[in-house]
Amino acid sequence: MAVKFSDESLKKFEAIVARYPQKNAAMLPVLYLAQQEFGYISPEVMEYVSQIMDVPVARVLGVVTFYTMFNTKPIGRHHIQVCRTLPCALAGAERITGAIKEKLKIGLGETTPDGRFTLSEVECLASCGTAPMMQVNDDYYENLTEKNVGELLDRLK
Ligand code: FES
């Protein structure tokens, strides 16, 4: 098989699975671990996860395509995820996305040619009180404006 967890990830996998009464209940953290190790969830990774989790590939595919935190193709070093749900939408999320598109010259689902940024829209990230907001990799950026979002992106190398 082409893909396989490193020894370190295999230990993490075993620790994750041990925390759940049933193996398949650990699907989300195991997929997250796979994404950390392989960068994104390719068809080969889905097949590998289905084997180690003892579930059909279709179940893995269903989970991967349901959650926006899983990427099925390579992404940039910084994955920009702008929340588009109602509170953020009312606070100007569309203008934020527009400013990012204009600055980076990419559309939704696209990656800059230098591999630095990928832009996505996602649903509520549970930070509605500081709308509009976005997540870049594991960090939240809140109370965004068209001006400060550009400055934030300039700081991300
Ligand atoms: S609506 Fe954007 S974080 Fe909840």
Tell the residue number behind the tokens 């509170």, with chain if given: 87
Give, for all 157 residues of the chain, the pLDDT tens digit.
Answer: 579 999 999 999 999 999 999 998 999 999 999 999 999 999 999 999 999 999 999 999 999 999 988 999 999 999 999 999 999 999 999 999 999 999 999 999 999 999 999 999 999 999 999 999 999 998 999 999 999 999 999 999 8
Q: Give the angle subtended at the CA of 150 by the CAs of 139 and 131, to the nearest 5°.
A: 55
The number of the ligand 1 atom at minimal distance from the alpha carbon of 84 is 2
Count the neighbouring beta carbons within 10 Å of the beta carbon of residue 90: 11
For residue 78 the two structure tokens come to 């910084």
CB of 88 closer than 6 angstroms to any ligand 1 atom: yes
Q: H helices of 19-120, where? A: 27-38, 43-53, 57-66, 86-90, 93-104
Q: How far is the CA of 61 from the centre of ligand 1 (A)?
A: 26
Which domains does the chain show, CATH number per domain?
7-66 (1.10.10), 78-155 (3.40.30.10)
CB of 29 closer than 6 angstroms to any ligand 1 atom: no
* Rama region for 137: left / alpha / beta (φ>0; ψ in -120 to 50; rest): left
Amino acid identity for residue 52 in this structure: I
pTM, entire model: 0.81
